[in-house]
Amino acid sequence: MYADTKGDVYKAFVECFQDRLVPAGMLGIISSRTGFFLGQSADWRERIVLRLYCPVTLADFGSGVLDAMVETAAYVLRTLSNAEDRQLTLRLLPEVIEVPTDKDGCFSIPKYQQKRNGLKRHQAEGEIGRLLQASYVVEVPGHFRRFQPQDNIIRSAPAPQPESFDELVCFCLVDVEDKGDHLNVARTMLWSPCELPTIRLTRDQMPVRAWRSSSL
């Protein structure tokens, strides 16, 4: 079911709980930290963590926190509110009206994938499911799945609002000898060009009052 995350239990846990929490519900996790830093996890960060959630807090603990040979991070993610979820659907509409259609005014899943920069099939089906639920497209019966955009409904839909993020609190727990060595956790996690300072703490400094960034 979770084609992008089935290889990592914690990633699948994050993805599946997006459907189990109430709108604007909170999910707190301590897991491996690798998903926030490895290039091969970029799809999980961009399509799950930053698209279906709003990150609230990230604490990069590193090693020595659990009785296991794993570097860890603790983080709190907020699911989208109903209004934010609607905005996510609205942001798809400019792409939908530009998907190439056949003589019946319908498009296939491969055509949608191509227009959406080569999405994987299950990702494209997820987005089309959103559009179906909101009646922006209808499925046309046939030998293969085709969808017809509802142009009048799409053109009368409100313009999507600019994407924004909540304030993010970041901690980085380091050993004393490594104080000068750590990467900017917030920047690495979000793949953002913004220069966001990170609170670097030694193990004897927890807890401490957090610094909050005001812009992401």
Q: Where in the chain is the domain with CATH 1.10.10.10?
A: 92-156
- Report the C-alpha gap between 168 and 214 in whole angstroms: 8
Q: Determine the pLDDT at residue 166.
A: 66
Query: CA 165, CA 55: separation in Å to the nearest integer?
Result: 8
For 92-156, CATH gives: 1.10.10.10
Closest CA to 23 of 80, 65, 73: 80
pLDDT at 79: 94
Report how far residue 50's alpha carbon sits from residue 14's, in angstroms, rounded to the nearest whole number: 12
**Tens-binned pLDDT, residue by residue, of the chain (216 aa):** 666 677 789 999 998 898 899 999 999 999 998 888 888 888 888 888 988 999 888 888 887 777 778 889 899 999 999 999 999 999 999 999 999 999 999 999 999 999 998 888 988 999 999 999 999 999 999 889 999 999 999 999 999 988 776 667 776 655 544 434 443 443 344 433 333 444 444 434 433 333 333 333
Q: Give me the pLDDT at residue 7, please.
A: 77
Cross-strand bridge partners of residue 202 = 174
Pairing status of strand 169-174 against strand 53-62: parallel
3-state secondary structure the chain: CCCCCCCCHHHHHHHHHCCCCCCCCEEEEEEECHHHCCHHHHHHHHHHHCCCEEEEEEEEEECCCCCCCCCEEEEEEEECCHHHHHHHHHCCHHHHCCCCCCCCCCEEHHHHHHHCCCCCHHHHHHHHHHHHHCCCEEEECCCCCEEEECHHHHHHCCCCCCCCCCCCEEEEEECHHHCCCCCCHHHHHHCCCCCCCCEEEEHHHCCCCCCECCCC
CA distance 120 to 124: 6
User: Would the pTM of this model clear 0.75, i.e. be above it?
Assistant: no
Asked whether the beta carbons of 133 and 95 are under 8 A apart, the reply is: no
d(CA 83, CA 75): 23
Whose tokens are 């401490």? That residue is: 208
Rounded CA-CA distance 127/89 in Å is 8
pLDDT on residue 66: 77
For tokens 């897991």, the residue is 31
Tell me, what's the pLDDT at 174?
52
The whole-number pLDDT of residue 85 equals 94
